[in-house]
Chain A
């Protein structure tokens, strides 16, 4: 279970909190879609959850392990795929995956098996021998997803994972996310593609101006807004426009 309690963050140049007293629960087996307009606080929240950004106040924990007091154990349980993945450009894709496997202490057989399976699933097999500097945006995205999944993390966090993926790879990733959640793992991802969120996520969170406006299933959102036939896109726009 991922738990965020009273999470707040304000950047020095800003007048209001980028994230303001955010409470969040994501249970095992759930695919949590994190939605919000630009500048709503999605990326800031994600960065605080993965430990890239220090929260001004509040706590983040995964299965009872606190990010601040047990950062290493916590980080062992997460896999993170950022919206703009960073790589050592001169490394080959395979060398990068080898490095990540070394960091997580994966044994020979496991790393080989996972790299083979994941690269085949995400259609990035032959290119792994090439330097990352020659990769397209989509290939980088795929490599980032493989690296995030390599150690079978308890919590998989994906920030805009579909951007740049070709239709086949995008489909494969969605299937992979579903099968991953079916294993009882947590998948937390942010997206602007509301159709994907509606079809893929078992739970949604909508953030606006740093505050969590809604957290629950799609049908709960429909019930809350009193319009059960409406799409997520319509409900999202109504919810965020009503407030602003």
Chain B
């Protein structure tokens, strides 16, 4: 136990996950501009955090109140248990194999006189320590709501305490068992990222579905009031299904209300946790060995064949793909971002909200500005990407290699931007043209919408790339530090949002307010072309500086 804690402490001191995240804000920068930017970003994050908290709180309040009406006083807590578990699963899925089996420090630790069992337990402890805060974030508001509605009691206090401490064990145990199965399966051998990506997309569908439920029953007044009649009418059958399928979470929710449920919850959590722990410990050595070589693969003995030569530009683009596919977390992010519109469509179908969405879209379609509105929505969705804004960071320590190759900074930038254009630009063209054809927009609309969607990529991507070249994260240890937890990605999203706002202004708002008579398409193209050209040069300059550092 002492050694396990020692290893956990060493990991925390060595990796400093939260300190590293805060460091990316750049508060220590001497430049005043950077400091202002840091403060703005920090404020944005705090506002986002607060908004989420308010949304969670009001939803838990609504479900807890609804529960009182339909004789289910645990409903808000049950909802919290489901949301927290799914959020923990989603957040941890791409990092579970990394933390348990593939982290770079494992190789070093294996050489030390540490028992395999201790090492395995320490990795599980690390997994818990990194995932539990996410779980608590989604759970804590429900505890407060339960105390406010039901009143404070010792039962509630002890129940809440065990809910928080033991709650993450169930999702993490399931995830761990899935992780072990994937790492040891032949699927991992054939395609290390595919199985995880599929699992992750399924979880995302579930997660986005839940979040759409969070706003679905809000009253039209917009004052966080809920339409309880509508909720009772449509939610009760769904709640009954969830209660049947998610029995352990039902027991967990009731742990705050009855001691017998608390007893069963503790027993269940410890039991499932012990099974997962035993499986990890028993298979640790062989799974780490498999992880090192990327599956059951053996040297195949076949004669190597050399591929045909390519230009340096194409070679660098292919290299980008190699970097992108080197980590499951990267693959998932990109797949998720590229298929957001499709994922949303599936989620709406699954959660039964497709009817609401269809009604919303038909009301949009009745407007004069329908084409422009649909275009701007798709523009936002299509460019909601971390591809370029974390491109250099994804290379990590390998970025040093770029300083060795006899390649101009411009060539690196071109390779990254062309790949962005191929991945994001092409999917954008498909979405925009499909959507506009489906709504019956004519050839005239397609004639400006398709070039504008491509131009938008050319505006956004170079600026995002410049940000990452300016301050790349070359020191990451866990893949999510390079992409998901990389502040440059957030800056990039702000840029994408900014350009979408400009497009909305020129295409929708100004004509709507009567400032101009028709959408300002030509000026938008001119501004876009100027910004794209400037952004491209800016990106090259930043790349040149980064490569000479």
Q: Which residues of A are interface residues toward B (Cβ below 8 A)? A: 50-52, 54, 71-76, 80, 86, 88-95, 97-99, 101-108, 111-112, 115, 125-131, 133-134
Q: 24 pairs across A/B with beta carbons < 8 Å?
A: A50-B404, A75-B406, A86-B400, A86-B401, A88-B319, A88-B398, A91-B322, A94-B307, A97-B306, A98-B315, A102-B312, A102-B315, A105-B311, A111-B306, A115-B306, A125-B304, A126-B299, A129-B300, A130-B300, A133-B292, A133-B293, A133-B294, A134-B297, A134-B299
Q: Cα distance A93–B38 when bound, in Å?
A: 43
Contacts A90-B322, A99-B319, A134-B293 known; A54 to B301 CB distance under 8 Å? no
B303 contact set on A, CB distance < 8 A:
126, 129
Complex alpha-carbon distance, A91 and B548, angstroms: 27
- Quick one: closest B residue to A131, CB to CB? B294
Contacts of B403 in A (CB 8 A): 51-52
Cα distance, A127 to B301, chains bound together (Å): 7
Q: Which residues of B contact A131 (CB under 8 A)?
A: 293-294, 297
8 Å CB contact of A95 from B301, B307, B405, B548: B307
Q: Is B408 an interface residue (CB 8 A)?
A: yes
**Do residues B311 and A102 form an inter-chain contact, with CB atoms below 8 A?**
yes
- Do B301 and A94 have beta carbons less than 8 Å apart? no
Say yes or no: A99-B306 contact (C-beta < 8 A), given A88-B323, A104-B406, A131-B294: no
What is the distance, in angstroms, from B259's C-beta to the closest C-beta of chain A?
Answer: 52
Are A90 and B297 touching (Cβ within 8 A)?
Answer: no
Give the chain A neighbours of B404 by CB distance below 8 A.
50-52, 75, 80
B310 close to A (CB within 8 Å): yes
A91 cross-chain contacts in B, Cβ below 8 A = 322
Q: How far is the CA of A108 from the CA of B305 in the complex (A)?
A: 12
Quick check: A88 and B326 within 8 Å, CB to CB? Answer: yes
> Is the pair B304, A129 in contact by a Cβ cutoff of 8 Å?
yes
Given contacts A73-B406, A99-B318, 17 further A-B contacts (CB under 8 A): A50-B404, A52-B400, A52-B403, A52-B404, A72-B407, A72-B408, A74-B406, A88-B319, A89-B326, A103-B406, A108-B309, A126-B301, A127-B299, A129-B300, A129-B302, A130-B300, A134-B297
**What A residues does B407 contact at CB under 8 A?**
72, 103
B549 cross-chain contacts in A, Cβ below 8 A: 54
> How near does chain B come to A116, taking the closest CB pair, in angstroms?
9
| CB-based nearest B residue for A75 | B406
A86 B306 Cβ-Cβ under 8 A: no
Contacts of B302 in A (CB 8 A): 129
Interface mask (B276-317 → A, CB under 8 Å = 1, otherwise 0)? 000000000000000011100101111111111111101110
B151 CB to nearest chain A CB (Å): 57
Q: Does chain A have a CB within 8 A of B9?
A: no
Residues of B within 8 A of A (CB): 292-294, 297, 299-312, 314-316, 318-319, 322-323, 325-326, 397-398, 400-401, 403-408, 548-549
Q: Considering the complex, give the chain B residue whose CB is closest to the CB of A99.
A: B315
- Residues of A close to B304: CB separation below 8 A: 92-94, 125-126, 128-129
Closest chain A residue to B549, Cβ basis: A54
Which of B307, B398, B400, B405 is the one whose CB lies under 8 Å from A98? B307
Q: Tell me which residues across on chain A come within 8 A of B315, comparing CB atoms.
A: 98-99, 102-103
Q: How far is the CA of A127 from the CA of B304 in the complex (A)?
A: 8
Whole-angstrom distance between the Cβ of A221 and the nearest chain B Cβ:
32
* B8 → chain A closest CB, angstroms: 27
Which of the listed residues A102, A106, A127, A133 has the most CB atoms from chain B within 10 Å of its own CB? A102
A90's partner among B311, B316, B325 (CB-CB below 8 A) is B325
Report the separation of the CA atoms of residues A88 and B548 in the bound assembly, to the nearest whole angstrom. 22
B309 touches A101 (CB 8 A): yes
Given A98-B306, A105-B312, A115-B306, also A86-B397 (CB < 8 A): yes
Complex-state Cα separation, A97 to B297, whole angstroms = 21
In the complex, A217 Cα to B514 Cα: how many Å?
Answer: 85
The answer to whether A90 and B318 touch across the interface, beta carbons within 8 angstroms, is no
Q: Decide yes or no: A102 and B306 within 8 Å by CB, A88-B319, A91-B322 being known contacts.
A: no
Q: Which of B309, B403, B406, B549 has the most CB of A within 10 A?
A: B406
Evaluate contact between B309 and A107: CB separation under 8 angstroms: yes
- For B319, give the chain A residue with the smallest CB separation: A99
Q: Please, which residue of chain B has its CB at the minimum distance from the CB of A101?
A: B309
**A99 contacts across to B, CB distance below 8 A:** 315, 318-319
With a cutoff of 8 Å between Cβ atoms, the chain A residues found around residue B319 in the complex are 88, 99
Could you tell me if A94 and B548 are in contact, using CB atoms closer than 8 angstroms?
A: no
A88 to B303, CA, bound (A): 21
Q: Return B528 CB to nearest CB of chain A, in Å.
A: 31
Residues of B within 8 A of A73 (CB): 406
Whether the Cβ atoms of B300 and A108 lie closer than 8 Å is no
Of all chain B residues, which has the CB nearest A104? B406
Shortest B103–chain A CB gap in Å is 14
Chain B residues with CB under 8 Å of A125's CB are 304
- Nearest residue (CB) in B for A153 is B406
Report the bound CA distance from A54 to B365 in whole Å.
59
Please name the residue on chain B nearest to A130 by beta carbon.
B299
Chain A's nearest CB lies how many Å from the CB of B330? Answer: 12
**In the complex, A225→B184 CA distance in Å?**
62
A89–B292 Cα gap in the complex (Å)? 10
CB distance from B31 to the nearest CB of A (A): 18
Cα distance, A125 to B130, chains bound together (Å): 44
Q: Select from chain A the residue with minimum beta-carbon distance to B293.
A: A134
Residue of A nearest to B400 (CB): A52
A101 to chain B, nearest CB (A): 6
Q: Provide the bound-state CA to CA distance between A216 and B240, in Å.
A: 87
Complex Cα gap A51–B405 (Å): 10
C-alpha gap A51/B300 in the complex (Å): 37
Taking a contact as CB atoms closer than 8 A, the residue among A75, A107, A134 that contacts B405 in the complex is A75
Q: Shortest distance in angstroms between B476's beta carbon and chain A's nearest beta carbon?
A: 15
Q: How far is the CA of A106 from the CA of B308 in the complex (A)?
A: 11
Which residues of B sit under 8 angstroms from A72, Cβ to Cβ? 406-408
